[in-house]
Amino acid sequence: MDFQLTIHAALDRLRDGSLSSRQLTESLLQRIADTDDTIKAYLRVDGEGALRSAEEADRRRSQGEKAPLLGIPLALKDVICTKGIETTCASRFLQGFTPPYDATVVARLKESGAVILGKTNTDEFAMGSSTENSSYFTTHNPWDVTRVPGGSSGGSAAAVAADECLGALGTDTGGSIRQPAAFCGVAGLKPTYGRVSRYGLVAFASSLDQAGPLGKDVTDCALLLQTMAGYDPCDSTSVDLPVPDYYGALQPRLDGVRIGVPREYFGNGMQPEVEAAVRDALQVCRELGAELVDLSMPYTEYALPAYYIISSAEASANLARFDGVRYGARYDDAMREAADIIETTSKTRQQGFGDEVKRRIMLGTYTLSAGYYDAYYLKAQQVRTLIKRDFDQAFSRCDALIVPTTPTTAFRIGERVHDMLQMYLGDIFTLGLNLAGTCGISILCGFADGLPIGMQVLGGAFEEATILNVAYAYEQATAWHLQTPEL
């Protein structure tokens, strides 16, 4: 069935003429119609626009064009601006907002010939780990619909796992690509900060946010990153460095590669099957020629509090613009009940933002306030420096790290909604990388009771080619990534 193809397999068929982009897109739109009432991965599907783009891709191919993703149907997380398609960040505050421009990553995908199927569900403003914070509905995990798909890019991960697109884009502020990739059994890559443009991403935490690809395997992530990456003058944090040939660098062996195994990422609080699967994967890497290096990253335990202070402070600043006057919806009853503009804004935010967004705004505002800035925000930034130093020292001894993506497999919907500490602790293995600003990819390395287990390959700054190669070599030596959920 065409909707089950990987991106690289679909490209082969599109090139040899045995499949058209129109046929492929129709197959995926039918798959969405058949399954998404159950999975709920999409907030909106642009079927007519997708078919027009597919026909245009077929025309371009017939004229001899060889754009890298010509005719490939993809999905986009709903925090990424799309010209002519509603972008809400899964928040009622932005309901009805249709951007007049494309984010740079979207423009690059379109230039490469990609077909945009629609926008996927997310935790509101990308704040969450389960997609339960969406203002519209909770996305379900394709492997077990009673469980969460992870977050905040849960809609994108679920759509890829359920064969409702060939690949998708997500964003990763503290693990929001890698964690749902692990829960849904797909590949998800968080690039180095500055490798991919943030222009057109609705900001959560500006020093942490980064867009990245989700695919059915590592090769697909390499192909997507190739198109997304590169300098963008519209983004002041974009880094002007050459983009390597990620696809061409993929090799099936790891001879001479040093892989670090930090002890702080294993042990207490971890589901035994998760640790066992990752340690088995390490032995596979050894058999492929890699050298395993035991090491310590002592500041790992401080990543969680540092992240939530820094990210919440930046969220408070970024979301201050949503006042119902300059940005976002204004509720009529807020105006009727309010005595002045300040009260109007307060009531509008009260109705527009969900509980998790309010929680982080309040935490961030508190830590930035007079008398608390030095005690919390400044100290968190100092801890961030120590965490980055941990990563720098680790990468001075090895080429990549391999660690679990999450301490457990996907939890049940509703299980952690009222226990925010447990919810936040689920990101303990992903947060540090965002604070350090480097790159990582999560891939499937096993199952526990039918649920996927993810492992991360972490790399130094702008070492995406290295982590893709390590992940690819492991993937080629195993068959986990070939398994798909039954829907």
Catalytic site positions: 77, 152, 176
Contact 301, 335 (CB under 8 A): no
d(C-alpha 109, C-alpha 116), whole Å: 9
Strand 211-215 relative to strand 451-459, pairing: unpaired
Give the residue among 205, 163, 191 at the shortest CA–CA distance from 308: 205
d(C-alpha 21, C-alpha 74), whole Å: 12
Give the residue among 244, 88, 218, 225 at the shortest CA–CA distance from 169: 225
Handedness of CA 246, 247, 249, 254 (dihedral sign): positive
- Whole-angstrom Cα Rg for the chain: 21
Contact 21, 14 (CB under 8 A): yes
β partners of residue 259: 292, 400
